[in-house]
Amino acid sequence: MPFRHIQEFDTETLRNMTQAFDAACERFGLASDDPQRSDLATKIIELAATGEREPGKLFARAVEALDI
């Protein structure tokens, strides 16, 4: 889980971030060594930091921003 060391978000937000991340990785076939995973995680963190909490929106906005 790419967000386990982040302390600025509550448990529910971390769960939603992880759900969005896992869904994107699965949907686009990002293997564990794919460098886009790091970019995806960073973008999801940025979006959550601006207040987005809904997993579907985190997923959609991150994928759109990264053009995956």
CB contact at 8 A, 55 and 63: no
CB contact at 8 A, 47 and 64: no
In this predicted structure, the answer to whether residue 5 has a pLDDT above a threshold of 90 is: no
In this predicted structure, the answer to whether residue 2 has a pLDDT above a threshold of 80 is: no
Judged by DSSP in three states, 67 sits in coil
> How do the domains of the chain map onto residue ranges?
11-66
pLDDT of residue 6: 80
CB contact at 8 A, 41 and 2: yes
Q: What is the token pair recorded at 6?
A: 């982040």
In this predicted structure, the answer to whether residue 4 has a pLDDT above a threshold of 80 is: no
Tell me, yes or no, if the pTM score tops 0.85: yes
pLDDT in tens, 10-59: 999 999 999 999 999 999 999 999 999 999 999 999 999 999 999 999 99
CA atoms within 13 A on the CB side of 64: 7
